[in-house]
Structure 1
Amino acid sequence: MRHIHPRAAILISLILCDLLGLNLALAGSYWLLYEREIAHTFKQPDLAQHAAISLLLLNPISLALFGVNRLYSLKRGTSRVDEAYTIFVTVTIIALVASLIASLVGLRFTTTNLLVAWLSAVVLIIALRNLQREVVYRLRQRGFDRARTLIVGSGPLGQMIARTLQQAPHLGYDIQGFLSEDEPIGTQHHGVPVLGRPRDIRRVVQTLQISEVLVCLRGLDANLVLELVAACEDLPVAIKIYPDTFQIITNNEISLGDLGGLPLMSIKSSPLDLRWNRALKRAIDLVGASVGLILLSPLMLLLAILIKLDSEGPAFFIQERVGLNGKPFYMIKFRSMRPDAERIARWTTANDGRRTRLGEFMRPRSLDELPQLINVLLGDMSLVGPRPEQPLFVEQFRQQIPHYMRRHKEKAGMTGWAQVNGLRGDTSIEERVRYDLYYVENWSVLFDIKIIVRQLFSLFRKGVNAH
């Protein structure tokens, strides 16, 4: 008997999780609200028939809605926050459909019944899917559902992708090698060899049975992409393109319109250029900072005392940084280095010898950043945004990196899209800028929530590249 394909097994398990969560929520809500009536009044012979018809109609409709909302798109790195939001929206639609079906078949229900079933379904489906995801992650680390992967481009971008995938074994990528136009065959980066030139892609894909190709090149040539796709069009391989550093800006900054029939191109504004969005983000900052200061005040007091006991010097470190529209402000942190640290060096590195013993514990977990809740409350910073740099480095980076100052269109943040993706400490400034600009151009409340949730999870584990 042939074994079931890993991707099919994952899909089937997802469908079972959704059906289990949905039907448990429906059955549970009826049982809780109508337990006595089920035993007495609800003994009509047609009740079971009506319930069966309702489920017979609702289950396939629900699966179709989940499919339409791409909840069965088997991505290896799905955001849990995005998925939870999509589940919430989908189950809301399903609840409305369920009430309509129940009315048509004559099945009794109440508003309370509907609300309990709706909320229960959201919670159960999210919980079951997260449980399924953890099982899949553990199985992938043992060899299940591995994707043999080839990276086109062995430069800094390709190496960053390889390093990121190696640090995330739960995603199930087995990197077989690079294709490079510049480096000799056999050259290795992070233990991954250069196997040939981009023109050799068909041979390498067939020989190594590659299932995914990641194109990671600077200044990507559209003709090259078409050649790569054409070379593999009849092979069972997926080709994915990692966008160039500033390609995301080009894709987002121009929109088409017309003026009295005349075509016009205009520069798109970022979402936070709208006053309503700025007011909404500020409201979230005020609530988040206030709640954070109240809940974390015992921890912050403890850290301040421990800093004083651990080494000489003040508990807090205050430094000038550059914020919204390039204006300077004074950022507050817990001191995690020796008092004379700035006289020795201005840039932090891995295993920085200037850190105190307590600083070695705080910095990887971002605990030294907690006093910045005060900056958020004062309006100098936001909970989420590009991380602020010192004026000296801002002046340096603006001359070296195109579009660098665009990241200052928004308030600096306690954490940001770059930081939760591991780009912090002594990492590529160019890559950080790319992530910062993506955030500025694609801001939404959901995006902020996703970043905050990922940052909160990092408090319970050692952060990546945090020095």
Structure 2
Amino acid sequence: MVRRNQNTLNMVNMILDAVLVFVSYLVATYIRFDVMYGAQPALQLAWNETYFRAAILYALAIVAVFYTFGLYGSYRFQSQIRELSVIFVINAAGVSVLTALLYVTRFVDFSRLAIFFFFIISTASVSAKRICLRALLRYFRKLGYNQKHVIVVGNGHFARQYMEDVKARPHLGFVVDGYVSKTEKPDMGRCLGEYEELERILETHDVDELIVALEPHEVRFMEQVLNCADKEGTKVCIIPFYNDYIPTHPVVDVVGRTKLINIRTTPLDNVLCQFIKRAMDIAGSLCLIVLTSPLMLIAAIGVRLSSPGPVIFKQDRVGKNKKEFRMYKFRSMRVNDAEDTAWSTNADPRKTRFGSFIRKYSIDELPQLFNVLKGDMSLVGPRPEIPFYVRHFKEEVPLYLVRQQVRPGITGWAQVHGLRGDTSIEKRVEYDIWYIENWSFWLDIKILFMTAFGGMKNSEQLTK
């Protein structure tokens, strides 16, 4: 039932997108030619059969590209940010190709401003429709409509965890009809039978999905369970017993008949993603160096006057692939013998009064823009640590060195959530690994905005 409803919803979604793109053309040309000209030439300039046919073809082409990129499917697990980002990129690419074709072919001398309006209006309208549709679906799922009925195979840790997770997220619209297992656990709900009875259970229940969560000692039942599901045409999802070791977006490679799950593949392993991030780092660091140069000059003078010693503090830090580099900061402390091993604290007596101020507002970090330009760091990424602490933490904090798979950053996902300075290393690592596994251009932009609007000021106390 849900499958049929999903197909209908996908078709309606595609038609609505095409209609919105076409209507956006009408609105954009009306604004450009009627509203801005103060006359009524849109009917003559842009509202005729030839242009309407072209606009319809373009709308159908964009919808086809949306479909190719997987924008028509279930919204239960899909990230809304990713969805809207893909829509923006596809629309931008589509308008760019359209503009280039018009320029090269000289088919018509169409207003570039009208094309720009069309891009803004079509992107905004399609995005707004999807935001509203998702919110509406979640609302109805909470009320008990559009539910996907599932049966869980197993009663171990991950079977229980799955049940708790879907129960805590009613907007996803999953209903667990019961579980199948060798033994009953009353606190897990209704036991429908044993593994040998699965075929009968699937015949008598209208199930949309089978969630297989067998424990290691039950793997011998896997073939039987999968055969029953295939025989009844039931969709299967497997929760492996090594679930805790699998990243958010695992990659499966195939060598002959062998499937390899690469548990440490990240989006930044992709060459194009690396290029995009590095290009943003170079452009962003150059712009920020120019914009903050007056502030850096004032900071340099303040450091020089605050205490004897160099203006720039250089310290070895561990970067990408565990390679060490020299990181730059404005010196905020008096010259001391423990600068390569001692961790600064909130009320560190080594801080100068001016140093306390520039640390409070992260002004001391500005010279790291030159590290970004050199390629030692990125604008966004896990914060680099002193080699002394890296050697220490890698033995005590699980997955600590996974952070070194990417360039360290001036700011990061952990930092904008308050995890900086004398805070939990375990929590920082958790946030850093989430960032690495879920990297996207838009996530970096989001972190930079969060840093600019609230993430630069930290909780350190000013020295009196």
The TM-score, its normalising length taken from structure 2, stands at 0.58
Instruction: Name the structure 1 match of 2:228.
Output: 231
- Structure 2 residue 113 is the aligned partner of structure 1 residue 112: yes
| 1:202 Cα offset (Å) | 2.9
Write the mapping of 1:129-140 to structure 2, written as runs, cut at 5 A: 129-140=130-141
How many residues are paired up?
A: 364
What stretches of structure 2 of length at least 5 have no aligned partner?
256-261, 290-316, 325-340, 348-359, 369-376, 418-423, 456-464
Instruction: Name the structure 1 match of 2:331.
Output: none
Distance 2:253 2:364 in 1: 34
Per the alignment, in what secondary structure is the counterpart of residue 204 of structure 2? Answer: helix
Instruction: Name the structure 1 match of 2:147.
Output: 146
Distance 1:165 1:375 in 2: 45
Give % identity: 16
Contact 1:155 1:217 (C-alpha < 8 Å) held by counterparts: yes
Distance 2:219 2:436 in 1: 26
- Structure 2 residue 82 is the aligned partner of structure 1 residue 82: yes
Per the alignment, in what secondary structure is the counterpart of residue 57 of structure 1? Answer: helix
In 2 relative to 1, CA 381–95 (structure 1 residues): closer, same or farther, beyond 3 Å? Answer: closer
1:211 to 194, 208, 211: 208
In 2 relative to 1, CA 174–157 (structure 1 residues): closer, same or farther, beyond 3 Å? Answer: same
Per-residue CA deviation, residues 46-80 of structure 1 (Å, 9 max, x unaligned), is 95211332233223222222211111022412101
Per the alignment, in what secondary structure is the counterpart of residue 150 of structure 1? Answer: strand
Contact 2:278 2:378 (C-alpha < 8 Å) held by counterparts: no
Per the alignment, in what secondary structure is the counterpart of residue 117 of structure 2? Answer: helix
Write the mapping of 1:42-441 to structure 2, written as runs, cut at 5 A: 48-96=48-96, 100=101, 109-180=110-181, 184-189=183-188, 192-217=189-214, 225-242=222-239, 244-248=243-247, 271=268, 330=343, 385=382, 395-396=395-396, 398=398, 405-407=401-403, 409=405, 415=413, 440=436
Distance 1:442 1:48 in 2: 46
In 2 relative to 1, CA 28–195 (structure 1 residues): closer, same or farther, beyond 3 Å? Answer: same
In 2 relative to 1, CA 232–50 (structure 1 residues): closer, same or farther, beyond 3 Å? Answer: same
Contact 2:30 2:42 (C-alpha < 8 Å) held by counterparts: no
Distance 2:395 2:123 in 1: 48
What stretches of structure 1 of length at least 5 have no aligned partner?
257-265, 291-321, 335-370, 420-425, 460-467
Instruction: Name the structure 1 match of 2:17.
Output: 18
| 1:116 Cα offset (Å) | 1.7
Per-residue CA deviation, residues 87-130 of structure 1 (Å, 9 max, x unaligned), is 12222343256555899896652222212211221122111110
Contact 1:147 1:211 (C-alpha < 8 Å) held by counterparts: yes
Distance 2:118 2:195 in 1: 54
| 1:223 Cα offset (Å) | 7.3
Instruction: Name the structure 2 match of 1:262.
Output: none
Instruction: Name the structure 2 match of 1:445.
Output: 441
Per the alignment, in what secondary structure is the counterpart of residue 233 of structure 1? Answer: helix
Instruction: Name the structure 2 match of 1:310.
Output: none
In 2 relative to 1, CA 193–250 (structure 1 residues): closer, same or farther, beyond 3 Å? Answer: same
Distance 2:445 2:198 in 1: 40
Instruction: Name the structure 1 match of 2:300.
Output: none
User: Which amino acid is the alignment partner of residue 164 of structure 1?
Assistant: D
Distance 1:329 1:279 in 2: 32
**Higher deviation after alignment, 268-277 or 105-114:** 268-277
In 2 relative to 1, CA 284–96 (structure 1 residues): closer, same or farther, beyond 3 Å? Answer: closer
In 2 relative to 1, CA 205–384 (structure 1 residues): closer, same or farther, beyond 3 Å? Answer: farther
Distance 1:393 1:32 in 2: 60
Contact 1:102 1:109 (C-alpha < 8 Å) held by counterparts: no
Per-residue CA deviation, residues 324-364 of structure 1 (Å, 9 max, x unaligned), is 76998858789xxxxxxxxxxxxxxxxxxxxxxxxxxxxxx
| 1:138 Cα offset (Å) | 0.7
In 2 relative to 1, CA 171–40 (structure 1 residues): closer, same or farther, beyond 3 Å? Answer: closer
User: Which amino acid is the alignment partner of residue 137 of structure 2?
Assistant: V
In 2 relative to 1, CA 436–25 (structure 1 residues): closer, same or farther, beyond 3 Å? Answer: same
The TM-score, its normalising length taken from structure 1, stands at 0.58
For the aligned residue pairs, the C-alpha RMSD in angstroms reads 5.6
